[in-house]
Amino acid sequence: MGKFQKKRGKASPEVSTASLPDIIFMLLFFFMVVTVLRDSEKKVDVVTPQVTELTKLEKKSLVNHIFIGRPVEKYKAVYGTKPRIQLGDKFASLDEIPLFLEKHKSKVSENMRGGIKTSLKIDNSVTMGIVADVKLALRKAGQLLVNYSAKPRAD
């Protein structure tokens, strides 16, 4: 320590690192703001299929999500293993879909309502029966823009 100080002398050519924490904090706040914590508890297991023709969903506020999958482990005892629909953070039946869509619609400003998309997050193992029922419910509710959520596949 003593040796070190002698060498340096009186002038300190050190770069000030005092602002480093500020810079890091700025980055930190950025990530804290960007991070979206899951707002709804996952009640069904969803592993989406892998495809090649993907479209990115933009404008998150215009997207509502419908999950279809088998109940997760802790709900299996109550809800069984058959595929179920999850709207928001709870299990739902088909006839709750119109209300769910309407609730989401009311949060969107009027001139943007034409662009509302429904993101269907459907598990790989689900059969088409329940999917067809949901599709029919969406069509009846006038919600025609649908996105089958999927992961990219490398060919």
Residues in touch with another protein (CB under 8 A): 17-18, 20-21, 24-25, 27-28, 31-32, 34-36, 48-49, 51-57, 60, 63, 82-83, 117, 119-120, 122-132, 135-136, 138-140, 142, 144-152
- Buried/exposed code over 98-113 (b: 16+ C-beta within 10 A; e: otherwise): eebbeebbeebeeeee
Least Å distance between CB 89 and another protein?
17
Helix (H, G, I), strand (E, B) or coil at 88: coil
Q: Least distance from C-beta 139 to another protein, angstroms? A: 4
Instruction: Report in angstroms how near the CB of residue 99 gets to another protein at its nearest.
Output: 17
Which residues does residue 64 pair with via DSSP β-bridges, in sequence order? 118
CB-nearer residue toward another protein: 72 or 131: 131
Cα 23 to Cα 15: distance, rounded to the nearest angstrom: 15
Tokens representing 57 are 């969903």
Whose Cβ is closer to another protein: residue 85's or residue 138's? 138
Element (H, E) at 28: helix 20-34
- Distance of closest approach, residue 7 Cβ to another protein, in angstroms: 16
